[in-house]
Chains A and B, each alone.
Chain A
């Protein structure tokens, strides 16, 4: 390790001066606050022309559909995620280890790609229903398939890709529970089911709630699935108001209402997290208490665990591979892939750098106001992409017009410096995904003992030097995880990219969306497959790092 020759005293004094880390945190918080303030600010602007029409005819529908969708997705992710976590945690059967990570794979799918894929194969004129009609299947069997493009259908698609949040959280909670409590319950004569119901589930409830609420935030933010299935929710309403009615004010006001729903979820999530703390009594890990199962019962458990993987990953992937290989009208994906990767790569590097600075500011200068700022930064993840897009477009466009007016006398042609460039997009990604990077970076940094920092400083390293020479090497895994997760999230992101991308700049996600819009679901398979395959990387990576712990 290289040791630099600098005086430790000067930097001690510097503790009380504003420095780069603090400034970055303040700036990051301002970035997140900008779209929120802009959108909320429009509540105080008068009503737009389309607004009264919205309120009279559509608003109730948007709200009702959003709420109903959230309820169905909540039921769906719990119904899939909790039993799966329970089976993996409390039973030992052949293939359990493989299944425990296979169950994570649907995370690689954005819900909209699952929706396109299932629509392609389950359409009325598609192969499945045509076959079912040819063998005279009863109508009650075909009806649900026919009605896939509906609100329950959208809830199913979202549940299939979002249940891993609940599964992961519930599994971690189950594994963390002390086996003593369960054994105590058994000795008190409780049945296995009673123990599950009265001990295991109540103890894991905060974790399950947290996972469900994460899934619901994704649900409220979803645009691609509901748009394709013709379900009128807040996100589709905002886009329709903005483009269809050309009404920025109305779109911003709808965004504020959506923010209200999101805020409720955020508060609930914070509350559920608080309660997790009461339960971390780890005398003995549960693993030793799990039950060995063989034979038919093992087969049953295997099949049940395989079901969500089958429908959330294996079947759609098999379809995408087949379509890409044999049916799709292939076009060059090079430019799209290049755009997507450059955008996602560049943005995630910026985001992770900012996340490192924020985490480091918290480590060096812990204070109450800094922790508030950090909470604010973390809120970005709850903001739906559509809301961020509206909240970024409006101020950026005004700034561009103002700047153009200022520069007119220099003969500079009016230009969209911010709103027409990739800057707006990177900004939106920063707002939305900084929290994702923060999660990984903070946990990585907290595992490094402060004594190491002190030793580094004693040996003459500067603050930045400690970060570079000690922390970054030690938390390489966390940094890589953060980059990878951000990269994939950006690759999958649809609504903000759609609204903010610079002109003539298409990405894989945009192409997939456009091809699906042109009823070319088969041709959309190739870009979809690419998104999913890249999306697998962090899932596999995460699982490796989770199992290592």
Chain B
């Protein structure tokens, strides 16, 4: 046992030799297939090797915390602002210094301390059954608690971060007490116990189990692009409604990246972030997963265009993280499973 440290030191020395080549280590909550082609392009352009590890955001964050100074991670990519804020709170991120990023990404999509940046925008509107819902009766997220919608709403579990972020944005707009009342009203209007993901909710509306669903846009986009007839049937039966157009706007969230404090390859990490906000990378994101670019000059996919334009909630997304814990707790109390 006495020799273990020496042996380990020797081994570590040997292992660190091939690490001289430029590389960047990414912990990503984005699915492999949605991000890998983009990273390959980056590798070709820059010669920097990207090592990708995918998992759930919570697991990746727990991992980075456990690894402490030992972490190999340079960037943490998540599919929501809430988890990036959690990473910031946990003290595992550091500010990103890049003029290019400052110029290209709107300020509200960036952490106030620049510890994380948004890379794409996703919206969370309401989808309704065309044959059973008169869209003129729809107005806001708040109005979903009207008795008119009793037993007609499908939405996924409160353990899902998208719903937590929606509630967090409402806490900011209406306060905690009003949001808790809203959550209770939502639970009272559920058509069924929350189950499955966003696509499940859309399918349930099409199948007639409920009349309204709250879902991120790209899930609908995927169904539009699907070749399967049953998916096409879902698209034909549904239409999108953009809520809160007369006040703060529809709730949006980001997928984004945080800069890990103990990053071993800081230059390459920033280089990769800058690549991700280039016009072509942004257009790719929009095309492959029907998300909205953060850069205005990037082109939208036809599928996204078909959903129409809308006014987005201009809240600084850091707030979603700040209010996350309160949102989770009030949804627990409201019995939103």
Chain A contact residues, CB within 8 Å of chain B: 53, 56-58, 123-125, 129-130, 133, 146, 149-150, 229-230, 232, 240, 242-246, 393, 397, 400-401, 404, 406-407, 410-417, 419-420, 503-504, 517-519
* CB neighbours of B207 from chain A (8 A): 124-125, 129-130
Nearest CB of A to B213, in Å: 12
Contact in complex: B203, A413 (CB < 8 Å):
no
Report the minimum CB–CB distance from A127 to chain B (whole Å). 10
| A-B interface, 8 closest residue pairs, ranked by CB to CB distance from nearest | A414-B70, A243-B58, A125-B207, A125-B203, A410-B9, A519-B197, A149-B195, A57-B332
Within the complex, the shortest CB–CB distance from B144 to chain A, in Å, comes to 21
Q: Tell me how far the C-beta of B219 lies from the nearest C-beta in chain A, rounded to whole angstroms.
A: 9
Contact yes or no, A401 B9, CB < 8 A: no
Q: How far is the CA of A56 from the CA of B332 in the complex (A)?
A: 10
User: What's the nearest-Cβ distance from chain A to residue B159, in Å?
Assistant: 6
Quick check: is B297 within 8 A (CB to CB) of the other chain? no
For the complex, is B53 an interface residue (Cβ under 8 Å from A)?
A: yes
Shortest Cβ distance from B58 into A: residue: A243
- Please judge, given known A-B contacts A57-B329, A412-B8, whether A397 and B193 are in contact too, CB under 8 Å: no
* Per-position 1/0 for B180-207, Cβ under 8 A of A: 0000000000001111110110011011
B195–A244 CB distance below 8 A:
no
Give the chain A neighbours of B56 by CB distance below 8 A. Answer: 243
Contact of B328 among A150, A243, A244, A412 (CB under 8 A): A244
A507 → B minimal CB distance (Å): 14
Chain B residues near A123 (CB-CB < 8 A): 200, 203
Q: Contact check, B90 vs A246: say whether CB atoms are below 8 A apart.
A: yes
Could you tell me if A246 and B65 are in contact, using CB atoms closer than 8 angstroms? Answer: yes
Task: Say yes or no: A125-B157 contact (C-beta < 8 A), given A150-B193, A246-B65, A246-B90.
Answer: no
A519 to B200, CA, bound (A): 8
Residue contact A230 to B5, C-beta cutoff 8 Å: no
Number of interface residues of B (CB under 8 A): 48
Assess whether A57 is in contact with B333, with CB atoms less than 8 Å apart.
yes
Scan residues 99-123 of chain B and give those whose CB is less than 8 A from a CB of chain A: none
Residue of B nearest to A498 (CB): B59
Is B47 engaged at the interface, CB distance under 8 Å to the other chain?
no
With contacts A230-B157, A413-B70, A416-B67 taken as known, whether A518 is within 8 angstroms of B16 at the C-beta atoms is no
Evaluate whether A246 and B62 lie within 8 angstroms (CB atoms) in the complex, with A53-B332, A230-B193, A412-B5 already known. yes
User: CB distance B332 to A420 under 8 Å?
Assistant: no
B8, B58, B90: the one within 8 Å of A407 (CB): B8
Task: Kindly supply a per-residue 1/0 record for chain B positions 302-337, scoring 1 wherever the CB is within 8 Å of any chain A CB and 0 otherwise.
Answer: 000000000000000000000001001100110001
A416 to B5, CA, bound (A): 14
| Closest beta carbon of chain A to B155's beta carbon, Å | 13
| CB–CB B62/A124 < 8 A | no
B69 contacts A by Cβ under 8 Å: yes
Across the interface, B53 reaches (CB within 8 A) one of A57, A124, A503, namely A503
B59:A412 contact, CB within 8 angstroms: no
Q: How far is the CA of A504 from the CA of B52 in the complex (A)?
A: 9
Given contacts A246-B86, A518-B31, contact A401 B53 (CB under 8 A): no
Are A413 and B12 neighbours in the complex by a CB distance under 8 Å?
Answer: yes
In the complex, the chain A residue whose C-beta lies closest to that of B6 is: A410
Query: Which residues from A are CB-within-8-Å of B159?
Result: 240, 244
Apart from A230-B157, A412-B9, A416-B70: 7 A-B pairs, beta carbons within 8 A = A57-B333, A124-B203, A150-B193, A240-B159, A245-B325, A411-B9, A411-B13
Could you give 11 example pairs across A and B, Cβ below 8 Å?
Answer: A56-B333, A125-B206, A146-B192, A240-B159, A243-B59, A243-B62, A246-B86, A397-B66, A406-B5, A410-B9, A412-B8
Evaluate contact between B337 and A230: CB separation under 8 angstroms: yes
Known: A412-B5, A413-B12. A419 touches B197 (CB 8 A): no
B230/A125 in contact, CB under 8 A: yes
* B132 part of interface (Cβ distance < 8 Å): no
Interface membership of B232, Cβ < 8 A: no
User: How far is A417 from B67 in the complex, measured between Cα atoms in Å?
Assistant: 10
* Nearest A-chain residue to B55, judged by Cβ: A503
List CB contacts (< 8 Å) of B19-38 with chain A: 31
- Give the residues in chain A near B193, CB-CB below 8 Å: 149-150, 230
Interface members, chain B 193-242 (any A CB < 8 Å): 193-197, 199-200, 203-204, 206-209, 230, 234
> Residues 48-92 of chain B: 1 if any A CB is under 8 Å from the residue's CB, otherwise 0?
000001011011011101111110000000000000001000100
Query: Cβ of B12: which chain A residues have Cβ within 8 Å of it?
Result: 412-413, 415
Which residues of B are found within 8 Å of A57, using beta-carbon distances?
A: 329, 332-333
User: What residues of A have a CB within 8 angstroms of the CB of B6 in the complex?
Assistant: 410
Determine how close the nearest CB of chain A comes to the CB of B17; give it in whole angstroms: 13
Report if A413-B194 is in contact (Cβ < 8 Å); known contacts: A125-B206, A407-B9: no
What CA separation (Å) do A124 and B205 show in the bound complex?
Answer: 10
A58 interface neighbour in B203, B234, B332, Cβ under 8 Å: B332
- What are the residues of chain B within 8 A of A393 when measuring CB–CB? 66
Are the CB atoms of A242 and B62 closer together than 8 Å? yes
Q: Which residues of B contact A56 (CB under 8 A)?
A: 333
Docked complex Cα distance between A149 and B154 (Å)? 14
Q: Are A407 and B67 in contact (CB under 8 A)?
A: no
**A519→B160 CA distance, assembly (Å):** 14
* Chain A, residue nearest B203 (CB): A125
Cα distance A415–B15 when bound, in Å? 12
Give Cα distance in the complex from A518 to B197, angstroms: 7
